[in-house]
Amino acid sequence: MAKEIVLSGIRSTGNLHLGNYYGALSKFVRMQNDFDCMFFIADLHALTTHPDPLTLHTNVKSILAEYLAAGIDPEKATIFVQSDVPEISELYLLLNMHVGIGELMRTASFKDKARKALGITTGSSNNDDEDIERQIIGNESNKRVNAGLLTYPTLMAVDILIQKAHKVPVGKDQEQHLELTRRFARRFNSYYGVDLFPEPVNFDFGGAPVKVPGLDGSGKMGKSEGNCIYLIDEEKVLRKKVMRAVTDEGPKEPGSPLSQPIANLFSLLELTSTPEVVKQFRDAYADCSIRYGDLKKQLAEDILKVTTPIRERINEYINDEAYLGRVVRQGAERARERASKTLSEVREIMGIRKF
């Protein structure tokens, strides 16, 4: 029996960090043995935020090197760049004919980005939607809320549907996009009375989702939060970041609960260290003998054990343009095979026929 198709992508907006590694890359590596995996770099999606052209290309290249360095094997999985598959852009146009502006405007990610671009900070008022709508329609200077941003979910749905993927490993923040993808698939199938697109489901391989917090004492690690440890961080930089991580004044009495910043450090330690080391620091916290400096030193060492070999491989791949070129050309060929088949089917179904 043919293996199920697993597909996921990462937007090329900068280097990958420890959150990407534990949340996505390391899972992709495990999946590639058991499924027909397709992992791509969403460079068209990155265009919604207007990177300068040189940066866009640099980012595509670095994510490609990071995919490979993390252990994604181009002989097992299909690795490709979204813009190398022009069929995606055509299906995006066709599918958009069946997507409502209203449903796109109600998408949380769109509202977030529009709010940011418009400088609306409240976010919680009842007439939030109206505020956004009025400003988008009424204000000529707001070109930053571009149509690409609005139709982001269409493009993502096409990435998935054009490959007829069954399983899509993505984080919580992408769940709504996946829900829309299912809705678009159902809608297309029922409108034309066909059974073309499978409805993809999220795929969390290996149990509970991992939490990778940042170093600033608040929430999860994220590029826009500026609290990241990058896979390419040099030893010195990485150590410095960890040593500067936010802490608190220390446990006041035995058995004190953990504050958020300290709980975050323990989460990171749990990901990268051995159970014995974690226990040693937990015990030290419980009896108030813990020294945060020691905890951070240990954490930095253990993170480096994970990232150093990856960083070394990233640097090798980055400098091997010929190899990177071969990987993406082979990937594009495989991705286009499926994509062009699906696109022909859609064209036929919609009545776009050759004379």
Q: Which of 111, 116, 223, 341 is catalytic?
A: 223
In the complex, the smallest distance separating the C-beta of residue 40 from ligand TRP, rounded to whole angstroms, is: 8
331 makes contact with ligand TRP (CB under 6 A): no
Is residue 342 within the footprint of ligand TRP (CB under 6 A)?
no
Q: Is the dihedral of CA 345, 76, 318, 323 positive or negative?
A: negative
Q: What are the two backbone dihedrals, phi and then psi, of residue 81, each rounded to the nearest 5 degrees? A: -105, 130
Q: Which pair of tokens denotes residue 275?
A: 């159970």
Contacts with ligand TRP by CB under 6 A: the residue count is 13
Of 17-46, binders to ligand TRP (CB under 6 A) are 42, 45
Residue of 113, 164, 167, 241 with catalytic role: 113
Judged by CB under 6 A, the stretch of 57-65, 169-177, 216-224, 232-240 that binds ligand TRP is 169-177
Kindly write down the DSSP assignment for every residue of 146-184, as one continuous string: -HHHHTHHHHHHHHHHTTT-SEE---GGGHHHHHHHHHH
x-or-dash string of contact with ligand TRP, 171-190, rule CB under 6 A: ---x--x-------------
Distance, in Å, from the CA atom of 335 to the CA atom of 83, rounded to the nearest integer, reads 11
Q: Name which of 316, 266, 269 is nearest 66 in CA terms.
A: 316
User: Hey, what amino acid is at 62?
Assistant: S
Stretch binding ligand TRP (CB under 6 A), from 3-11, 26-34, 186-194, 214-222? 3-11
Question: What is the C-alpha to C-alpha distance for residues 304 and 302, in angstroms, rounded to an integer?
Answer: 5
Told to judge if 354 belongs to the known catalytic residues of this protein, a careful annotator would answer no
The single residue among 5, 6, 7, 300 that binds ligand TRP, judged by CB under 6 A, is 7
Buried b (16+ CB within 10 A) or exposed e, 102-125: eebeebeebbebbbebbeeeeeee
DSSP sequence for 100-156:
-HHHHHT-HHHHHHHHHHHT-----STTHHHHHHHHHHH-TT-TTS-HHHHTHHHHH
Q: Would you count residue 11 as binding ligand TRP (CB under 6 A)?
A: yes
**Which of 18, 38, 60, 168 touches ligand TRP by CB under 6 A?**
168
Of the candidate residues 170, 180, 327, 346, the single one contacting ligand TRP (CB under 6 A): 170
> Quick one: which segment of 68-76, 154-162, 212-220, 272-280 binds ligand TRP (CB under 6 A)?
154-162
Q: Does 338 bind ligand TRP (CB under 6 A)?
A: no
Catalytic residue among 111, 116, 211, 220: 220
- Asked if 302 is part of the footprint of ligand TRP (rule: CB under 6 A), the reply reads no
Amino acid letter for position 278:
V
Residue 113 designated active-site: yes
Distance of closest approach, residue 31 Cβ to ligand TRP, in angstroms? 13
Q: Is 252 among the residues known to form the active site? A: no
Residue 243, classed as helix, strand or coil, is: helix
Question: Residues interacting with ligand TRP, by CB under 6 A?
Answer: 7-9, 11, 42, 45, 156, 159-160, 168, 170, 174, 177
